[in-house]
């Protein structure tokens, strides 16, 4: 199976990125054909600071490599190094109904968060569809909130196939429901736009401070608590093994455990989980040439596939006949 996903270089990656998406990517690469990219075209919708933009791109690459992405198994590249994707996005936009984009909730959500309602933000699902369809993707690992984008991609592909003949593979989403949404320190979904994140590789003392600030209810220590309604327990589920998790769940239901105690254990678990990756990340911080070479090699492999796809698309639409005349 070919698995594809992208991640925006919009700042420091956090544990919501990891448990909600990156961990799936890294697990899937062992038994599948992984195609993972850094979505810098998509990040332009937020008008990032040009001076910081390239730094963020390289930081994402370093984080992935430190966490276990294997460039020998997985094609890993910078989106803008495969310009064919923008050509495909335009061609797809010519068969995409306006109503389909108007029904996308992500545009409304991002505008409500304060982003400018520019065309790039509105047409984001078309570029995302181009990313997915370009590489004949079978599975796309996403969070529950991104499921609609895969449905839109399937609709666009089906529309194109209906007009021009069978050209694109219709992808399926891959969602692990248990980690579909990772809560931030304020209880909302962990997101840089909410400023409620716990970064993967920030200093451990800062991780501790943030975890201890996580919002909880005012249930007394001695009372029973609902683990499924607790932000701390949601993070505990991500890092604890099944045996320990069952013990904590019983403690919640029996009463007598305070949220502060659980927070301290979450801190320990997060330190234990990510500590093995920190040395590799520190090594990569001083080896920018290697990281750049990985991205360049990945782009060459990605462009080879993109070239084949665009030949099919151009031939199907008639553009190929014009170029070959």
Q: Tell me which residues are annotated as active site.
A: 110, 189, 192
- Name the 3-class secondary structure at 32: coil
Instruction: Name, in order, each residue with C-beta under 8 angstroms of 127's C-beta and a sequence gap of 6 or more.
Output: 41, 42, 85, 86, 89
141: DSSP letter: E
- CA-CA distance, 159 to 95, in Å (whole number)? 7
H or E segment to which residue 6 belongs: strand 2-7
Q: Which residues pair with 37 in a beta bridge?
A: 6, 77
- Name the 3-class secondary structure at 258: coil
The two most distant CA atoms of the chain are separated, in Å, by 81
- CA-CA distance, 202 to 206, in Å (whole number)? 7
- CA-CA distance, 42 to 240, in Å (whole number)? 34
């Amino acid at each position: 199976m070919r698995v594809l996903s992208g991640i925006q270089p919009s700042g420091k990656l956090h544990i919501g990125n990891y448990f909600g998406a990156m961990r799936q990517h890294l697990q899937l690469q062992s038994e599948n054909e992984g195609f993972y990219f850094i979505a810098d075209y998509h990040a332009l919708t937020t008008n990032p600071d040009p001076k910081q933009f390239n730094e963020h791109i390289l930081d994402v690459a370093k984080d992935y490599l430190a966490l276990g992405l294997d460039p020998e198994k997985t094609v890993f590249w910078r989106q803008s190094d495969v310009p064919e994707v923008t050509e495909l996005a335009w061609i797809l936009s010519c068969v995409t109904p306006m109503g389909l984009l108007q029904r996308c909730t992500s545009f409304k959500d991002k505008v409500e968060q304060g982003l400018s309602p520019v065309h790039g933000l509105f047409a984001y699902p078309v570029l995302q569809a181009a990313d997915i369809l370009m590489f004949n993707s079978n599975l796309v690992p996403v969070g529950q909130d991104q499921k609609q984008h895969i449905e839109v991609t399937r609709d666009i592909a089906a529309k194109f196939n209906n007009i021009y003949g069978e050209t694109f593979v219709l992808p399926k989403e891959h969602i692990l429901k248990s980690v579909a949404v990772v809560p931030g320190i304020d209880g909302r979904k962990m997101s840089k736009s909410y400023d409620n994140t716990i970064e993967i590789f920030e200093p451990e003392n800062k991780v501790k401070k943030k975890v201890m600030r996580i919002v909880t209810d005012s249930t007394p220590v001695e009372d029973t608590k609902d683990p499924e309604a607790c932000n701390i327990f949601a993070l505990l589920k991500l890092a604890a093994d099944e045996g320990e998790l069952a013990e904590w769940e019983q403690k919640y239901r029996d009463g007598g455990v305070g949220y502060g105690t659980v927070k301290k254990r979450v801190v320990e678990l997060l330190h234990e989980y990510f500590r093995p990756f920190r040395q590799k990340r520190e090594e990569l911080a001083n080896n920018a040439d290697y990281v750049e070479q990985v991205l360049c090699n990945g782009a060459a492999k990605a462009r080879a596939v993109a070239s084949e796809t665009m030949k099919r698309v151009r031939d199907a639409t008639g553009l190929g006949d014009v170029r070959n005349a």
